[in-house]
Chain A
Amino acid sequence: MTDATRAVGTKETAGAQPLWSNLLPHSTHARVLFLIRGLAILGLIVAALTTPGFFTAVSLFSLLNTTSFIGCVAVGMTFITLSGNIMSFSLGVTLSTSGIVFIAALPLGLVPAIAIALCFGAAITGLQGVVVGYFRANPIIVSMAALALITGCATLITQGRGVYPEGGAAAILKARVLGIPMPVAALVTTAIVAQLVLSYTRFGRHLYMVGSNWRAALAAGLEPARTVLGAYVAAGICTAVAGILMAARYSSGDMELGIGYDYSAISAVLVGGTAISGGEGSALRSLVGAFIIAVCQVLLLLHGFSTQIQYLAIGIIVLLVIMLQTLADSN
């Protein structure tokens, strides 16, 4: 859904009512939810303003870097969630392994290494898409099986050790583009491309339909299995982007790097407001969600809370968001 197209439908009514009435949700119920969301964001801004050291270059750059990895995975996860398949537990290991593949392929040159890593991510996630789409297998279970399979294979091959690059070919990925760190630039590009795909391609629209109602899509003569496969391939590519950036940043490929990213990503997707049951949401929303989560993490860090507390906080946020979504749906 795009805001540009939304404006047209309300053109006729806009003259009769005050302009702001189109910006606010119409039912009381929806307005309460709107208010809760607004207050939450306001609270976050106040917390940021009152936290000493938040608005410093160091913490802001660290914030943006954190956001960029979670953000890429979250944008990828958005495709899976939108397609009606909830989430994948295997995107974290996909991130790690595509980073390893990238480092291992670097001797072939930077561009071939990036291409190989992206194809690798697309392939291993796409295979899950085949199982979920064509065999109608439970997506959660498939992703857990994939997590075990990928971890097992990768650990066997790397013998549990990290992979380190020879030479400095990946240095360019640590450089800045027009003063913006490469990971941030990559995230923004990924999110915009993903959103354009969702809004302006046939595949994107089909994805919303399949996520909204699989059987109706089938009855209408669409090919829902193919669309789901596409969603998984897109998720794999976005995750591989994060994997490449992370491997470049740490100058290594390691199975440890991606741990927990699938969980952070689904948190970002949900906080952004994409419906867990599919068919509603957007990549840009997930981007905002990733940013909010990262802000929370940085704030907690600056206040001296441990990583465990950060996990706890994210857990609570996700729980609240899910409850809000259910409330909104029960309307």
Chain B
Amino acid sequence: MTMSDQRAPAREVADSGAAPIVGVRNISKTFGPIAALKNVSLEVSAGEIRGICGENGAGKSTLVKILTGVYRPDSGDVVVDGKAVSVATPRQAQEHGIAIVSQELSLCPDLSVEDNIWLGSMRVPFLHKQQSLRQRAADALTLLGAGHIALDAPVGSLSMGERQLVEIARLLCRDARVLILDEPTATLTDVEIERIFAALLALKREGRSVLYITHRLAEVYTICDRVTVLRNGELIATEPLATLSQTALIELMLGRPASEMYPDEHQILGTPALVVENLSLPNIVERFSMTVHRGEILCIAGQVGSGAAEIVSALAGLVHNASGRVTINQRPLQLGSSARAAKSGIMFVSGDRASEGIFRRLNVLQNLIATRLRDYSLYGLLRIGALRAAAERLAKQVGVDRRRLRSRVEDLSGGNQQKLAFGRNLEKAKHGVLLMNEPTRGIDIGARAEIYRLMRSFCDQGYALVLASSDLEEIVGIGDVVVTLYRGRRVGAYRRNEISMHRIVADITHPTGAAP
């Protein structure tokens, strides 16, 4: 696997002489003590597709919200056609021709395509000529290469990609000159993504501009002319992609030099506890395979929407349409039932504590022994004394004060709640498999450290651990093996000494040798 720079495809770079149509000048914005944007200036030319890249919290969405009138900058201006203008409300942004294709589309599923295109448009007079509006809507769709979409079809009957094209057509009919797309492809299939790209290129030929915000570096290289990198609220660089290697782009995003190649060697420790072959989840994950050994922590690294969390949920039996061969401790496991998974030794800790972790109305004791009742009962009757002893032992192991056993769980901090979720699995089986989904989401540093310590103690007990995470620090810090995932497909696997943050970032944003 190489991170190459020869992948940058040939494209026509925006005419450097083209006039800038929209931009920001010396914009700053703070939220309380946090500076979201620091003195950022950028300009987008007519007919340019500009990528905006940066880690979470780099300031991308703040920039978008200032451009679209949701936030007002503390200082600095929004510039349209060389003049500073006021963009105080989304409506003013629309008047200046700045429009956003939102992640959650603002279409009404029960109305027709045509009605959706014109709904709420200020360009429709009270008395209007239906026919000319219809023609304009049809023209907009044709321009976007979406002439096949029937104007009378209800939007609810369209695919996600088609809806996005309708949304873009709607903005075109409002004379949008700059379209902002924020992670537009997260919910789309490859074919649909191709269609959206074709539509964007058509806009470009029309002289309209696009701001394209994405985590997926592959898409930046496919569609954008130049890329602007934000980091911690500062504009780091704006570079033409034709001359910027992917390694260099990752370095700009992370602010650290990318390391060199790592040996791709594999060393197997322990016995395989969990073998997954060709696990598929319709439209989410395709033919995913992995092997987890006893005593090791395997991280499935992937961005939100990559399918990592879904793989873990599927192995826990919580996804009904999963298919694939799963073997646990040499015995086959049929997916689709969480009770069956639990019987074969699978345990699951969710990062979504409120909805699938804790029992809010019950107390600490009851939460700690929630999955252990079978071990402490005789013909369905509970052995109360043994249960209480077990709860006290578990509370001690996970570091929760035994005097809190009677407290209601909702009075505990998120970190302590999560410790209970781990605690209830601690003594369960000798060679269990512990599955975790973003287990430290929303948990402070101190409790995090204790949870990582707990994970290691599971390893010492001979458990195999599988952890789906989008937190790079966590993946690098705790993983013995890291499997990278990009849009539902496995990209690579690295053992402890080969794991590097840069490599993982590259894999989960722009896989080499995998999906485009």
Contacts and interface: CB of A to CB of B under 8 A. Distances in A.
Interface of A: 1, 5-6, 8-10, 12-13, 200-203, 205-206, 208-209, 211-213, 215-223, 275, 278-280
Interface stretch (B57-65, B187-195, B358-366): B358-366
5 contacts: A9-B402, A202-B381, A209-B366, A212-B359, A221-B317
Nearest to A226: B339
**Secondary structure dominating the interface of B:** mixed
Interface of B: 316-318, 338-339, 341-343, 346-348, 350, 355-363, 365-366, 370-371, 373-374, 377, 380-382, 384, 388, 402-403, 405-406, 424
Contacts of B360: 212-213, 279
Most chain A beta-carbon contacts within 10 A, residue among B346, B370, B388:
B370
A216 B361 contact: no
7 closest A-B pairs by beta carbon, nearest first, are A221-B342, A9-B406, A212-B359, A279-B361, A219-B356, A215-B356, A212-B361
Contact of A222 (B357, B358, B371, B388): B371
Given A8-B388, A279-B359, A201 B403 contact: no
Contact of A216 (B342, B358, B384, B403): B358
Contact of A200 (B316, B355, B365, B381): B381
Contacts of A212: 359-362
Contacts of A223: 339
Contact of B403 (A9, A203, A208): A9
A205 B388 CA distance: 14
A8 B406 CA distance: 9
A273 to B, nearest CB: 13
B359 A201 contact: no
B143 to A, nearest CB: 45
A279 B366 CA distance: 12
A209 B373 CA distance: 12
A202 B366 CA distance: 12
A275 B361 contact: yes
Contacts of A280: 361
By CB atoms of chain B within 10 A, which of A213, A216, A275, A278 has the most?
A216
Contacts of A12: 403
A213 B388 CA distance: 22
A270 to B, nearest CB: 16
A155 B370 CA distance: 45
A5 B392 CA distance: 13
A208 B362 contact: yes
Contacts of B382: 200-202, 205
Given A221-B341, A221-B343, A201 B358 contact: no
Nearest to B371: A220
B358 A200 contact: no
Contacts of A211: 361
Contacts of A203: 380
Given A201-B380, A205-B373, A209-B370, A221 B361 contact: no
B285 to A, nearest CB: 19
